[in-house]
Amino acid sequence: MAEDPQRNFRSVYYEKVGFRGVEEKKSLEILLKDDRLDIEKLCTFSQRFPLPSMYRILVWKVLLGILPPHHESHGFVMRCRKEQYKDVHHALRVIRFIKDSTPQVEVFLRVYQLESGKLPRNPSLSSEAEDEVFLAIAKAMEEMVEDHIDCYWLISSFVNQLNNKYKDSIPQLPKLLEQYLSLEDSGLLTHLKLCSAMDHLPYNLWFRKCFAGCLPESSLQRVWDKVISGSCKILVFVAVEILLTFKMKLMALNSAGKIQQFLENIPQDNTDAIVSKAIELWHKHCGTPAHSV
């Protein structure tokens, strides 16, 4: 049977925007058209398939609880969130914590601090470690989301997910990294241990900041799809794949400091391939969601 050129064109197009087939696009569109969005199925879809940019922000808003499942409430809820942001923003200007020259990511931090009751007494006080995490995620999210109010709610909800849902899981990720690296390449693990590098890997950058500041936007979005949909374990496999990808370079380094410095500034030219392989490893070791979309 002759190949349908129109179908072939659609397939190539959808691959470019993040789908491997037309059927995946149809599945997601069906989910998003339901009067009441099924959160569990959206999570499953995001874990099984990549989200294209045309749908990503909407799905993230729903999964992070920024928008309710019911479509008819979306406009009203976002108007309320917009007014809430503006009220807090105005209050911060009145008490002189922000001004016209304040960088946008710092504005986001101050809004978050005031909303969460963590605003310092003096704006000149040095940042805490958790503020540095917030700012790194805010800077990365700002590159992905054009509307600054949407951007704020995504940042704050994502950070809350990390601080609450994943509070007990994130400290365990370094141990899991060692466990899975031993399965994938025990020789590399032995080398890192001999260099005393395992205790000095950039865990804060990889796990606390979810690779914000380490991976470029296109790669980072795919990792955050999985984290937002319910699996912070994907962070482990991205870290494992980074180590495997740069094995030859790491084997040539013989000090923890040099290894850490290199891993904090990895080359950016093949990160999409690294994330793709990490997702394959994730499915290999953790399987795929059992319930269907």
CATH number for the domain that contains residue 101: 1.10.8.680
Query: Which has the closest alpha carbon to 55: 221, 215, 223, 217?
Result: 221
Tell me which of 126, 147, 164 is where a domain ends. 164
Which structural domain, as residue segments, surrounds residue 185? 170-286
| Residue 195 sits in the same domain as residue 217 | yes
Residue 160 contacts by C-beta under 8 Å, 6 or more apart in sequence? none
Number of domains in the chain: 2
Nearest-angstrom CA–CA distance, 103 and 91: 17
pLDDT (tens digit, 0 to 9) for every residue of the chain, 293 residues total? 344 444 443 444 444 444 455 567 778 888 888 888 889 999 988 988 888 788 999 999 999 999 999 989 999 999 999 999 999 999 999 999 999 999 999 999 999 999 999 999 888 776 788 999 999 999 999 999 999 999 999 999 999 999 999 999 999 999 999 999 999 999 999 999 999 999 999 999 999 999 999 999 999 999 999 999 999 999 999 999 999 999 999 999 999 999 999 999 999 989 999 999 999 999 999 876 543 33
| Residue 78 sits in the same domain as residue 175 | no
In-domain check, residue 10: no
| Residue 198 sits in the same domain as residue 218 | yes
CATH number of the CATH domain containing 215: 1.10.472.80
Alpha carbons within 13 angstroms on the beta-carbon side of residue 63 total: 27
In-domain check, residue 109: yes
| Residue 143 sits in the same domain as residue 158 | yes
- The helix (run of H) or strand (run of E) holding residue 112 is helix 104-115
Alpha carbons within 13 angstroms on the beta-carbon side of residue 219 total: 23
The pLDDT score that the predictor gives to residue 288 is 63
Tell me which of 124, 145, 164 is where a domain ends. 164
Tell me which of 113, 141, 164 is where a domain ends. 164
The pLDDT score that the predictor gives to residue 125 is 73
| Residue 149 sits in the same domain as residue 250 | no
In-domain check, residue 47: no
